[in-house]
Structure 1
Amino acid sequence: MGADASTPQSPPAAAQVQLLGEPRLLLGRDGAHPLERKDAALLALLAIDGPVPRSRAAALLWPEVDGDAARNNLRQRLHRLRKRAGRDIVISRNDVLRLADDIAHDLAALPARLAEDAAAAAGDLLGAFDYDDCTELADWIVIAREQWRAARRNALAQIASQLESEGHAALALQYAERLVADDPLLEYAHRRLMRLHYLRGDRAAALAAYERCRQVLGRSLKAQPARETEELARLVQASGALPQPMPAPRPVAVLRPPRLVARDAEWRLLEQAWHERRIALVLGEPGIGKTRLLTDFAGAHAGTLVAGGRAGDARVPYATLARLLRAAFAAHAVTLPAWAAAELARLLPELGTAAPEPFESVRLRGALAHALARCIADGLQALAVDDLHFADDASLETLLASAEAEQGPRWLFGVRTAEAPPALDAWRARCGPAAVVLPLGPLDAAAIETLLESLSLPGIEPGAWAEALARHTGGNPLFILETLNALFAQAPVVVLTKLDLAPHVDWDARQCRDALRRIHPGVYLFELSARTGQGMEAWLDYLVGLVPPD
């Protein structure tokens, strides 16, 4: 099984402090426990301000008593918290309090949480708790609440703005609606909501958003909408064009090329590993095409499930494994025996009550093997786990041990070469020929030409662009596609070859540029050779933000 099965591992972090909405202490299988008013304030103070001297915490929470009595009250509170949780929630060292390292709270990583879910981070800090009897603490909480609301508003606005600029109007709409709901007096948020509805072609919804804005401002502030809002409303009413329309969508082929290019040899090795039931490990630098190869291969083989690590998993034991199990149970409706369900409920609370026994990795692996066997009976053939460099140590050890088992699904892994965890290198050495390693290299000019031919992009001659793109991007497929994306995002740009100028042989390049700038003053001209691509380097340098041509 790889690691010594008798060596116990720490269970996943099972305590989390919920400070938004009704403050609660979430204790995994032991359920959720409401936090008393001053307990919640203490934990909020530590979550926001970090380490705090015991004397300051005691004075904030019990201003009505002397220092000794306040410190005694604090000591009793900390004791009760520890007793309730069965673990340290707050650490005291050198008369300074801080949250224990393995205690999570719902104020952390706000932008990332909202980026994943527009409805995340709901509720006010410390809910409806009132602290008027603690004057200094009450003042701190008023400021902390407003800072939290402002941080949430800013994050929602930034995400909505980025999504709108990228052309994702429908997704941006979710964040714009959340922002208006969070603070109905933000006129710019109402204006964004109007604009997004209109850009999606929903004129009625845009006008309804304007009417709501007008009513809210009039009722709450006795004010009328700003001139910019009124102008936008008139444009919507008249079905006129917006002053700054969203950029035209880029060719969909650049977002996802229609076919995999220049990976035939690697595909054959994957097929061989599949038929021989050997583990496949795909290695490569970021953007080289590991994910595309694994997902395309999975799509060609029924019963293959794709999951993977994510940034941040390393901080949460068993995060990657839990995601894989959720995907497996979503694809295969299986019934587990009570003991296996209870063991896996340590990772997936939705499975029910977790096993009461102390955590042991050998029992978890047994439950995992049983669950995978049930999924295999329901049609599971293989598991492809991508981005293994993001996986937490506990998941990585469990996954690699499971892949070595004689019974079970086929396994495919993907990992960045330079970021491969040491445990993976040790596992490769131990597996030997049981694992097939597939290092992915960059695309050469011929492969890039084939890629460009498959994209069928207007104005792009594959033969003329391939060599220059190979030199400019090092043959990395992601860099190639991003360069092409930049090409279609830049406006206004005109790229001419010398053959394009053939009907105007009496003009030189500067005359062409002057003529084009009379049409649009911001135009740039790049003179390229139709046969050799000469001049392409200047164009590519321009795309990555270097100085434009004279």
Structure 2
Amino acid sequence: MEAHANTLRADLLGEVRFSWGGALVAPRSRKATALLLTLALKRTPMDRGELAELLWAPGRVQSVRQALYALRSLPGAAQWLEAGPEVALRVDADVARFEGAVEVRAYADALDLWSVRSGAMAWRDDLWREAERTAPSAFADWLEVERERLRALHQVCLHGRAAELERMGEVVEASRLIEALLASDPLHETAYRSAMRLAVARGDPHAALAVFERCRQVLERELGVAPLDETITMAREVEATLPQILRAPRRRSPLPAHATPFVGRDRELSEVQRLVRHDATRLVTLVGPGGVGKTSVALEAALRCAPAFPDGATFVPLAGVERPEDVPSSLAQALDLPLADGAHPEHVVVAALREARALLLVDNLEHVLAGAGVLGAIAASCPDVRVLATSREALDVPGETIVPVAGLALPPP
């Protein structure tokens, strides 16, 4: 919409800018900018006393008068500024057009406007904050309410447009909007359910379960609560479509055979087997110097315990992994779990193992210790999964039980 000749144009959704007839309108003082911003957002006449209380202090009407005097020198002010007992602007504000589109549920139009003005749906408010610094706390509080109101409307648009696209079968674009919504509000549980439903519609139930795991972790970490029953039920329904998620024939990495016959280590082997079979122990780390036989002990224990795990035992070698952040994807690869574009490997792995009775042998973690958190997540979220790990150092993750492995004693002379 083009502004009329007697109308000030106010772009407020992104980098704040005022113009009239194509000419930039730039107040010289911050107070004058704050006044212009306030009037453009309110879009209704305001009493001078009300403006004084909001922007200066109660009774500071003289300050309002001085700021209005400064505004009168700006291009076209005689056309767009009404400065009687009540002060108002003749203004065409993008905020008003955005709100109008949301009101009539023209979500695509609203998002187009938001994207064009605010830079691909990013919120930029440098000038807003500059205005806050020069005004009383009441102004800062009011401005924050305005910001949150507009953010909330943007989230309504994202969710509403995603629902429209889902009904049209445009599930990829709908998923993109839902991810934008979750980036804006990571606690939006309804959006997580939408993301799960869209992942299933894309034919990727693993991604749906990964979304649920992400939701569960965020809610637990930020609010100390579990997902709603509705969300849990949806996750269980997705899981029901994969009743044998790990039992079905897959290209998992099986436990390798010993390169040489296994001898000795009876004490360590007995202890590791006891821990793996104990319900309260989910993560066991064999710790010792390089070359002392940690892998051999862990492998023998895994081979002996494997029959107790109907969903199988999987070997995850990490010697060739260079970056800690690649540990979760290495686990997913060993388990033959597909990773959709944008999927978080840790969430996919934890979601896939949540109902499994499986054993993982994760070998050589010492050089990627920063990536060991995924093993702690498995231990915390997958009650019937046991993780055997080997490392020269402890992993230092919650739930870890350490079994020291030293060199074999020399036989007596």
TM-score (norm 1): 0.35
TM-score (norm 2): 0.46
